[in-house]
Amino acid sequence: MDKIEEIRRRRRSAHSKLLSLNSKVYKKFLQMEEVTYSNGALTKKQKELIAVGVSVVINCESCMEWHITQAALAGASMKEVLEAIEVGIELGSGSATVSARFALEVMETIFEK
């Protein structure tokens, strides 16, 4: 739990610092985030669940903490978050099968001469 609280503390600190420095890029990022996660064809909850799965694939702990929290605040259940995590697990292992295709092609060039 300490790690999660530290991630939250550091996020708040960086957020405050970037705002106090009047970072135009960060302000635009916040605007983009607001638009991205607002309800549209997909609900905020659905978008946050997608972000949970992506966060797992890219192994971004801070992203996981943020998007799981935001998904819960948007009404996602623990089961929905778990399924989003499971999609990330599958997609992550799926990318390894794509990489393995190239490895198989290399094997063919070496061993099937």
**Measured distance CA(69)–CA(50) in Å, rounded:** 13
pLDDT in tens, the chain (113 residues): 699 999 999 999 999 999 999 999 999 999 999 999 999 999 999 999 999 999 999 999 999 999 999 999 999 999 999 999 999 999 999 888 888 888 888 889 889 86
Mean pLDDT score across all residues of the chain: 94
Domains of the chain: 2-111 (1.20.1290.10)
Query: Does the predicted TM-score (pTM) go above 0.95?
Result: no
